[in-house]
Structure 1
Amino acid sequence: MTTHARLLTIFFLALPLGAGAQPAAPVAPPLPAGPATAGLLQTLFALIVVLALLGALAWFLKRYGPKAMGGSANLRVVGSLSLGGRERLLVVEVGKQWIVVGASPGRVNALATMPKQEDMDADADAGDAHAVLAPHAQPASSFADWLKQTIDKRK
């Protein structure tokens, strides 16, 4: 063996196994658990307080906030009839007239307008259902005729 090979052998045998690694940094002692736990509890408490304030504000606005009725005092649904799964026929009172409206999921169409029928409101207040239906048999059939004519015109 040459001198050079001997020196390399001695060098590698003399090295400790972890010689390629850097020396370990001193380990800091663990911090006491009190301040970290207190900070976490304080943050959690603040979150709960903020969520409670949001809930209380939402309840207050729902209970005492502005009403969504805007200008709907002159608007009411007089009656409705289901025509199928999602189609409806509505009679809507607007001011002094009734509007017959066809409503489907994608569209709302005004089909007809007619003057408000005052005597129907008086009969309905009396509570006699037969009195409400019997006097209005003729206007109902005329509406049926009108509806039939309108459908025929569209075809």
Structure 2
Amino acid sequence: MDVSTLLHLHTLTEDLAAFLSEVTPGDLRRRTRDPHLDVGDLYLRIIEENLRLVATITGEAVPREQWPSPSDGPALDVATRDHGDCGLDSSYRRTARLVENAFASAGAALPQPSLTRLYEDHLSSTVRHNRDLAEALALPYQPTSHVARAVLGRA
């Protein structure tokens, strides 16, 4: 994938990282748009989605010991209590870079139509995650017009 295409994804991931940097320990149990997910659950889901996507693109599993698991909700609570802040943006940025690097280096690993579809789906998912997290934190979110057009397939 070319750099200009990946710039859309990078812009969205930085938006999401900025929202995650605003999360406090008290925010982790705030409900999201999905009645079954709170902010902590959404974060764990995002990490899991990123790692799964990297494995799909590269054909190689990402070692799990470095990353929180969706079953680590209680561990997430303890970590944020012990450290005084959440710092969710740091782990998220690391997985987001793995995704960007996987797309950038995909080459012939996947047929181009499949890779394009995965990219478009991930863009859409990242926009939704931005919206859901911003909404849960009562923060405004409006993606830049070029990113919104790209997500909507109009760029």
Give the TM-score of the pair, scaled to structure 2.
0.26
- Greater fraction of residues in strand: 1
The higher-RCO structure (CA 8 Å, 6+ apart) is: 2
Question: Of the two, which has the highest radius of gyration?
Answer: 1
Give the TM-score of the pair, scaled to structure 1.
0.26
- Greater fraction of residues in helix: 2
